Amino acid sequence: MGYAITDTMLMSWRNLLHYVRVPQLIAFAVVQPIMFMVLFVYVFGGAISGSSAGYLAYLTPGIIVQTVIFGSMNSGISIAEDLQKGIMDRFRALPISRGVVLAARTTSDLLRHLIAVLIMAGVGYIMGYRFEGGLLDLAGAFGLIILVGLAFSWVAATIGLLVRDTQTAEIAGFTWIFPVVFASSIFVPVETMPAWLQVFASHSPISLAANAARGFSLGNADWAAAFQATAWMLGITLVFAMLAVWRFRRLE
Amino acid sequence: MADSVIIVRGVHKAFGKVKALGGVDLEVEGGTILGLLGPNGAGKTTLVRTLTTLLTPDQGTATVAGFDVVKQASDLRRVIGLAGQYAAVDEHLTGRENIELVGRLYHLPKAEVRARATELLARFDLTEAGDRTLKTYSGGMRRRLDLAASLVADPDVIFLDEPTTGLDPRSRLALWDIIAGLRREGKTILLTTQYLEEADQLADRIAVVDQGVIIAEGTANELKAKVGGDVVEIEMRDPAGARRAHAALAGRGATLDADTMRVWLPATQGSRTVAHAINTLDEAGIHDAEVSLRRPTLDDVFLALTGKATESGGADEDAATGVKA
């Protein structure tokens, strides 16, 4: 048990080597969100906010949340890949803690999220986006986004362990996350949605996270949203980490 | 056997309605190789996965090196090595990185892991390829690396699940050499295979598995003795011919293998059995049979035990006499 942390680091090193050896994995992970950002700002921006520039300030923090959530789904695909290729058998036959493989996957994917976030922020900057909060806001925004990535990585890991196949993991990951992400305050204010959808969207932890990130970005921190979002993300992490480790123990 | 390193008692395992193991009892003496021989789907892999803690048995108990596969799984994992049919190696890592990762996860000191990796790469003829990622490796190289990685912590008990399936003859021979070398080092090895020749070559004892149970166990010679000495084999040109020949010889204990168009009977009286067989066939109006007398192979054993041939079919190398009838 005392080895759990060093084992997780070793296994994370293995996961990260994949990104070094196959940099396309990172490239593909950011191409789509960049496309989203450019299209939403220049195509829908005027219609949504009256101007592309005005929408940029609204959208950028939200789309970074979206990038991290979508990116998290890859944790499940990677786990399914390890299962499919049989290397999971090797790991499972090793004298390591049962949570190591999963914890390594979610932590190494955190690092990948970080890279994606930096690239997205850079693209936003080029397009004219500016972070208006102070250092505390920046730290808050950053911490929150990392937590969002961690929470959804554990959800994806659980899915990957359940479906055990990369293609199914991809479908099972994205079919539900797509509507859930769109039915939030990431792209448009919840108040513009029909009443029945507002009920869902305004309570969605993704809306809370997007609102909190936006608050930090505008230099107008919404601490209530930030705390609620943090609580949600910690809760999701805890529940799904337990579910995933439980599934891992029962792999056959 | 007091010094059995692997002990399996009444192990059952089902996947849904499919019964994979139906009560397996088995012992493997320390320092020997047990060959688990059987066709695809016989339950060989299920047994290996149970003994390496990857599966939990539904019923029964099993211990490896004194550790219970369920209750002491984490202790057990420390003393075993597992290499399989699907080389469990990481595509994007180099050969050395693969071995070192596994070694570090066994919690060996970094310096020792480095030295072990260098030694294993050399021993498995991978030194040159050691610093390349696996994309450039052939199937045989991957299999050797997989085995090397499973040996990094110097385990006493090694499980090899169809280590040579799908390999070309040269790679197969290279792996045989390695496995024989491990045996000389005193390792206890459980090896599964569908190749009779492989079990015959490597294993001290052979357990024949079919449909989730062990149907025979012994040395290669003991198993061959079960067939009762030499074998008369009658090869026909078509399945219908084989069935006719079988019908004609049914009184002599002939067995039919329609897939390979062979009929086969124990040569209880040596060459006289051959003469009888030829006469009997002749009287039955069968004149296109190829009749031979040969030493029994494990194929014959399998056929005698299960009434069906293995995937590899009959072997002819031992044919002693061949007579055209």
More reliable by pLDDT, B224 or B5: B5
The total number of structural domains in chain B stands at 2
B110 plus B204 within the same structural domain = yes
For residue A98, give the chain B residue with the closest CA.
Answer: B74
Q: Give the span between the Cα atoms of B300 and A248, in whole angstroms.
A: 43
Which pLDDT score, from 0 to 100, does residue B324 have? 38
Last residue of a domain, one of B218, B238, B257: B218
- Where residue B228 falls among pLDDT bands split at 50, 70, 90? low
Q: B308 falls in which pLDDT band (50, 70, 90)?
A: low
What's the average model confidence in pLDDT over A87-106? Answer: 95
Check whether residue B118 and residue B264 sit in a common domain.
no
| Residues B115 and B10 grouped into a single domain | yes
Task: Identify all chain A residues contacting B101, using CB atoms and an 8 Å cutoff.
Answer: 10-11, 14
Does B186 share its domain with B307? Answer: no
Q: What is the CATH number of the domain that holds B309?
A: 3.30.70
* B288 and B172 within one domain: no
Number of C-alpha atoms within 13 angstroms, CB side, residue A164? Answer: 12
Euclidean distance between CA atoms A69 and A73, whole angstroms: 7
Q: Does B107 touch chain A (CB under 8 A)?
A: yes
Question: Smallest Cβ distance to B93: which of A17, A89, A91?
Answer: A17
If one counts the domains in chain A, the total is: 1
Shared domain for B229 and B182, answered yes or no, is no
Residue B271 pLDDT: 82
Evaluate whether B150 touches B142 at the Cβ level (below 8 Å).
no
Residue type at B303 in one-letter notation: L
Q: Which residue range is the domain that position A25 belongs to?
A: 4-249
Q: How confident is the model at residue B233 (pLDDT cuts 50, 70, 90)?
A: confident
B209 and B276, same structural domain? no
| Percentage of the residues of chain B whose pLDDT score is greater than 90 | 59
Q: Which residue of A has its CA nearest to B85?
A: A86
Mean pLDDT of A73-93: 94
**Residue B230 is part of which domain span?**
225-324
pTM of the model: 0.86
Position of tokens 């805890």? A238
Distances from the Cα of B42 to the Cα of B47, B126, B312, angstroms = 10, 33, 15
ipTM score assigned to the predicted complex:
0.91
Interface test with A, best of B50, B75, B92, B134 (most A CBs within 10 A): B92
User: B128 with B269, same domain?
Assistant: no
* Nearest alpha carbon to residue B33 among B242, B188, B150: B188
To which H or E segment does residue B23 belong? strand B18-29
For range B78-82, the mean pLDDT? 96
Q: Please state which of the ranges A10-19, B183-192, B219-228, B230-239 shows the lowest mean pLDDT.
A: B219-228
Q: Are residues B114 and B40 in the same domain?
A: yes
* pLDDT tens for each residue of A166-176: 999 999 999 99
Whether residue A67 is predicted with pLDDT greater than 90 in this model: the reply is yes
Chain A residue numbers with beta carbons less than 8 Å from the beta carbon of B15 are: 252
- Say which DSSP state B260 is in: G
Residue-level pLDDT at B318:
32
Task: List, as own/partner pairs, every contact residues B216-220 make where C-beta atoms lie below 8 angstroms and the sequence separation is at least 24, other chains included.
Answer: B216/B301, B216/B305, B217/B26, B220/B298
Which residue among A3, A22, A86 sits closest to B88, beta carbon to beta carbon?
Answer: A86
Looking at the fold, whether B208 and B271 belong to one and the same domain comes out as no
Name the closest residue on chain A to residue B97, using Cα atoms: A14
Compute the count of residue pairs across chains A and B with CB atoms less than 8 Å apart.
Answer: 68
Residue with tokens 């070694």, as numbered in its chain: B103
Question: Are B229 and B207 in a shared domain?
Answer: no
Residue A97 DSSP SS3: coil
